[in-house]
Amino acid sequence: MSFWSATRWRQHLVLAHPTDRAVLLLEGSAGWPLPVLEMDALHPGVAEMIAGGVRERLGLDVGILGCLHHDFDRVTRIGESVRELENHSPAWTPAPPARWISADDLGSLTLAWPGHRPLLTSWLGGHCRAGAPWERHGWLNGAVGWIQSELWRHGLGTIEHVAQVRAWEFSTVLRLTAGAHRFFFKAVPAGREREMRVTRRIGERWPHLVAPVIASDVEQGWMLMAGVEGPSLEGISDVRRWEAAARAYAGLQIDWVDHTAELLTLGVRDLRPTCLATEVDACFADGPALSPGLRRDLRPPEIEALRKLSPVLVNACTELETRGIPNTLDHADLWASNIIDTANGPVIIDWEDACVSHPFFGFWFLLMSAEDLVDDPARAQSRIRDAYLEPWTRYASSAQLRAAFDLAQRLAPLCSAITFRLDVLPLLDASWELREFVPYFLRRLITAWASQTG
């Protein structure tokens, strides 16, 4: 089942001439359209599939820059995006019906999508939206140059291939090969450099549990990591591998119990239960966050139920703090897709949402992943939970741990909704469908506390 409101995407592609101010259009009987790719609704930051579609259809290599426009038809559930591309094949020439069109040419043409005219007029006039650094022409060359210098400095060879995996508001990710080795490069926008600090620091304490960081430039928000070999848990139904990952994650969290002050200095958000309680009312009063105009909007009775539940949740946060389980590092995005099952054990990737919080909150994502990915989910979830809790018996008995875990799991959707509201919604532009996550989390919160809402 697709999470997204859109079931299909039309990606309209703005491809620039390598030297002149001109855009590629296709001549058709109904007018001149931009090249377009149709695809199933996938991750909002999908880049490799777009680049592959352009290569297959037009025969040239491109980079994905920014999204210039987006729209969504709530009847057909088709999303429309206009994405700017960078031409990485300067010698390529279009074949009919494709042609380079200048600003002067555009005025005499009938466009297949008339709504694109003001956008293309502005773009051809040199008026481009200010976006993330990787959305600017030429940025990729500078980043690849830095990567190559670092690979040479570490004796790791010469780059042979570069593929852009992700491109959206939150990051761009490149996959590279050099010699017989694979590497990943990630860039994040200003203000989110904590991922570089946290990943490097975790790697210093637990080098086998994160991808090795080869180099980083925190000022630019750049990080180069060695690739790790193995499938993600998303593709594994053997519950024993999930149990191993759960134990390893618990061990990592316990190791950081006495170092939460250091984590906060690295820039992670403080989402300990007492801090979480201070955000409850503001979250439930944020109408656009609760009902952003998409498929999963909360209905008025649900919003009213949340507001009535607010004091119960605040008290539950306070109670959780008394259960004797110390706050520590929380990944906060521990979906099965972020755990790689290697021959040497699990490797946890993508620490951009790391925070200081109750340790059991973030485990909710892994248990949710198991709902769809393993056989007999209820039994598997119990096994994964027990494997995770076993290392925590130094702090409480098994019965006490299970009681605290159950309470934390009922509060976990609240933590996730507040995190999204504070950290994700302010950055959203083209990836508008992520606005569905706040109502999605809060609806699960209502279900978890149904007995308290009457």
Q: Which residues have C-beta within 8 Å of that of residue 179, sequence separation ≥ 6?
A: 156, 157, 158, 160
DSSP assignments along 97-144, one per residue: TEEEE-HHHHTTPPBSSGGGHHHHHHHHTT------GGGSTTHHHHHH
- Across 326-444, where does the E strand assignment appear? 328-330, 339-342, 345-348, 355-357
The C-alpha atoms of residue 218 and residue 348 are separated, in whole angstroms, by 20
Nearest to 61 by CA among 70, 52, 74, 69: 52
| Residues 129-158 pLDDT 10s | 768 999 999 999 999 999 999 999 999 999
- Which segments of the chain have a pLDDT < 50? 1
Q: At 233, give phi and psi (nearest 5°).
A: -60, -20
Q: Which residues have C-beta within 8 Å of that of residue 410, sequence separation ≥ 6?
A: 316, 445, 448, 449
Cα–Cα distances in angstroms (integers) from residue 111 to residues 12, 22, 66, 108, 348, in the given order: 13, 15, 22, 9, 48
The C-alpha atoms of residue 225 and residue 248 are separated, in whole angstroms, by 21
| Residues 203-212 pLDDT 10s | 999 999 999 9
The C-alpha atoms of residue 442 and residue 197 are separated, in whole angstroms, by 31
Are 73 and 10 in contact by the 8 Å Cβ rule? The answer is no
Query: Any long-range contacts for 331-334 (C-beta under 8 Å, 24+ apart)?
Result: 331/249, 331/362, 332/271, 332/357, 332/361, 332/362, 332/415, 332/416, 332/419, 333/362, 333/365, 334/249, 334/362, 334/363, 334/365, 334/366
In this predicted structure, what is the pLDDT of residue 43? Answer: 75
Q: Which residues have C-beta within 8 Å of that of residue 339, sequence separation ≥ 6?
A: 232, 233, 245, 346, 347, 348, 349, 366
> Facing residues of 225 across strands?
184, 213
Task: Say which DSSP state 297 is in.
Answer: P
Residue found by looking up tokens 């697709």 in the block = 2
The C-alpha atoms of residue 260 and residue 269 are separated, in whole angstroms, by 11
In this predicted structure, what is the pLDDT of residue 1? Answer: 36
